[in-house]
Amino acid sequence: MSAAADERAGGRGRVRPAVPRALITLAPVDLVVVGSGVAGLTAVLEARSLGLSTLVVTKGDLPDGSTHWAQGGIAVVLDQAGTGDTVEAHVCDTIVAGAGLCDEDAVRAILADGPDAVRRLRRRGALFDPGTEGGLARTREGGHSAFRVIHAGGDATGEEVERVLVESARADQTAILPHHTAVGVCRDELGVTGVELLDDGGARVVVPASAVLLATGGLGGLYAATTNPPVATGDGLALALRAGARLADVEFVQFHPTALWTGRRDGQRPLVTEAVRGEGGVLVDHTGARVMAGVHPLADMAPRDVVATAITRRLADTGADHVWLDATGLDDFAARFPTVYASCLAVGVDPARDPIPVTPAAHYLCGGIAVDLDGRTDVPGLYAAGEVARTGLHGANRLASNSLLEGLVTGTRAAHTIARERRTAAAPVVADTPAVRQLVDRKALQRLASTRLALGRDAAGLDEVDALLDAAAPVAVTTPGLASGAALGLVARALSSAARTRSETRGCHVRTDAPATREAWRRSVPVELADPADDTSLRTPTPTGACP
Q: Which residues pair with 24 in a beta bridge?
A: 205
What string of DSSP letters covers 228-294?
A: S-TT-S-HHHHHHHHHTPPEE-TT-EEEEEEEEP-S-SSEEPPB--THHHHTT-EEE-TTS-BSSTT
Residues in the chain, overall count: 548
| 304 noted as active-site residue | yes
Q: Which residues pair with 188 in a beta bridge?
A: 191
Residue among 278, 242, 240, 283 at smallest CA distance from 261? 283
Catalytic member of 138, 140, 204, 304: 304
Do 10 and 382 touch, CB atoms closer than 8 A?
A: no
Q: How many Cβ atoms from other residues are within 10 Å of residue 51's Cβ?
A: 9
Give the C-alpha separation, 144 to 86, whole Å. Answer: 12
Q: How many Cβ atoms from other residues are within 10 Å of residue 247's Cβ?
A: 32
542: left (phi over 0), alpha (psi -120 to 50) or beta: beta
Can you state the angle between helices 442-452 and 480-501, rounded to 10 degrees? 20
The helix (H) or strand (E) run that includes residue 57 is strand 54-57
Give the C-alpha separation, 411 to 35, whole Å. Answer: 12
H helix runs in 400-547, sequence order? 403-420, 442-452, 459-470, 480-501
Q: Which residues pair with 138 in a beta bridge?
A: 150
Give the C-alpha separation, 248 to 27, whole Å. Answer: 34
Question: Which burial class, exposed, middle or buried, applies to 356 when counting CB atoms under 10 A from its CB (0-12, 13-18, 19+)?
Answer: buried
User: What is the SS3 assignment for 170?
Assistant: helix
Residue 84, phi then psi, degrees to nearest 5: 80, -5
Give the C-alpha separation, 233 to 182, whole Å. Answer: 12
The helix (H) or strand (E) run that includes residue 182 is strand 180-188
Q: How many Cβ atoms from other residues are within 10 Å of residue 133's Cβ?
A: 7
Give the C-alpha separation, 64 to 61, whole Å. Answer: 6
Residue 109 contacts by C-beta under 8 Å, 6 or more apart in sequence? 373
Give the C-alpha separation, 272 to 363, whole Å. Answer: 12
Question: Which burial class, exposed, middle or buried, applies to 297 when counting CB atoms under 10 A from its CB (0-12, 13-18, 19+)?
Answer: exposed
Residue positions annotated with a catalytic role? 304
